[in-house]
A and B are shown apart, each in its own frame.
Chain A
């Protein structure tokens, strides 16, 4: 008799693993299509950033009439979690899993937090603004619910970005890392640009119902894109699962990482440079409007110019690094270009020359692109293979904190000076400060140029026993010198 039961079980057993979200075997080569798919998580990160910092910033103040100070505090809440990125990375490095997974579970949890935050955010904001019957509700409900929503989204973004970057670093060989870094940055920018347009179009005629639709739609898109991004990316690893647990405490692991020559210096460079470039992000548009009397459409185009410059920087940095340039020289070049760009902005304000400002903006964006790409690639290269999560967590912690503090500081300095001087002289000190920070970054980064694990060109820091340079790399290096 036909054994239908055995037949069915056999069929299901064949089909089963296809529906599990992790790969069965690690592949040596990762095709570009798969990297593109992985980089979708950066799109959701960009989307969350735009929604929080751009769209909701405005909606809360203008449409929901929440006091601006409260909005600023709420939006700054996720920054509180930024230093924990190092801890998140460490946790994922040492994660104990029967499947031998390290990254996918964290991305799953981070995505859940992001989704959860977006799911309750519109209602929390409506309660906070006292919409309908919520006006009678006690104040603390709206406050704590909104704070919870922003914290959840912030924590989710921190986890997804840190662990996602670590996964990307895990997947590709060292010589392909510049490609991945470029891809990740570009996808972040693409996500931000697209979602800014979409949110703007959707919220043109604001209604509370529309706000709920947009934010919750954002939640669904987040889970979909992140799901597609990590589907079957990480291979399960039975040897890692079976390996005896070596519990290195966080401080010891951090000590090991920071003891690597140049690591602390690199993080300092990242902090200084990110602060220098980041300050302009929010001040460029009001600067164009107040000092050079540009219209809203023109200042928006100024931001587009800045982003285009960055895209150009990422693209060129990818190409140059792929050809064997050292990541640190790339970061140095970015700072060298960025410092005069900000001085040029001051000059442009003095001469009220808009074309000069556009050129300076493009140059600043280009420098920021080179700098960002160079420092992230340097961090990836500098990390030991078993501490990639921790290293990228440290990168994220330093980068996010520096950018956040810089934006806040830039705004405060501008506002303080704006009260008793003309607009032009209120912005000049901020731009001078940015140029100063970049010069400082340049000084700190200078010693890193000497061949060390960080300044070195491709492939010089492989652990003992593996070939130091592959044949193609040797050829590339020879070409580069010639």
Chain B
């Protein structure tokens, strides 16, 4: 733990750095979400489920 107010717990990154790491996580989640949606749509076209 450091006493530098800019550093955020627990990695010792600054706030801006931590936000950047987080933005990659968000980006990844969004992209994978969209990909999963498209994949499900395509599978539904080939072998429809739920009726």
Contact = CB atoms under 8 A, between A and B. Distances in A.
A65 to B, nearest CB: 16
Contacts of A9: 1, 9-10
A98 B17 CA distance: 5
A233 B48 CA distance: 45
Interface range, A side: 20 to 34
A20 B1 contact: no
A98 B38 contact: no
A244 interface: no
Contacts of B32: 112, 116
B42 A123 contact: yes
Contact of A109 (B2, B10, B20, B27): B27
A38 to B, nearest CB: 19
A10 B21 contact: no
B26 interface: no
Contact of A123 (B11, B39, B48): B39
Contact of B45 (A99, A109, A141): A141
A12 B9 CA distance: 9
Interface residues of B, number: 29
Contact of B20 (A99, A112, A133): A99
Interface string A134-171: 10010001000100100000000000000000000000
B1 A13 contact: yes
Given A9-B1, A9-B10, A16-B12, A112 B46 contact: no
Contacts of A368: none
B42 A98 contact: no
Contacts of A81: none
Nearest to A11: B10
B10 to A, nearest CB: 4
Interface string B9-37: 11111101101110010011001101110
A108 B45 contact: no
A305 interface: no
A99 B14 CA distance: 9
Contact of A126 (B2, B12, B27, B46): B46
A241 to B, nearest CB: 8
Contacts of B47: 132-133
Nearest to A131: B46
Contacts of B46: 123, 126-127, 131-134
B43 interface: yes
B9 to A, nearest CB: 7
Contacts of A124: 42
Nearest to B37: A120
Contacts of A134: 45-46
B27 A13 contact: no
B45 A148 contact: no
B45 A98 contact: no
Contact of A145 (B24, B28, B36, B38): B38
A481 to B, nearest CB: 50
Nearest to A236: B17
A127 B10 contact: no
B11 A20 contact: yes
A6 interface: yes
Contacts of A12: 10
A99 B42 contact: no
Contacts of B14: 98
Interface in A12-45: 12-13, 16-17, 20
A99 B16 CA distance: 8
A119 interface: yes
Interface string A245-282: 00000000000000000000000000000000000000
A149 to B, nearest CB: 9
Given A112-B32, A119-B39, A131-B46, 20 more contacts: A9-B10, A12-B10, A13-B1, A13-B9, A20-B11, A20-B21, A98-B16, A98-B20, A99-B17, A99-B20, A105-B24, A109-B27, A112-B31, A116-B31, A116-B34, A120-B39, A123-B46, A124-B42, A127-B45, A133-B46
Ranked nearest first, the 3 interchain pairs of A and B with the lowest CB-CB distance are: A123-B42, A98-B16, A16-B11
30 contacts: A9-B10, A12-B10, A13-B2, A13-B10, A13-B12, A16-B10, A16-B12, A17-B11, A98-B17, A98-B19, A99-B20, A99-B21, A105-B24, A108-B24, A112-B27, A116-B31, A116-B34, A119-B35, A124-B42, A127-B45, A131-B46, A133-B45, A133-B46, A133-B48, A134-B46, A141-B45, A145-B38, A148-B38, A236-B17, A241-B17
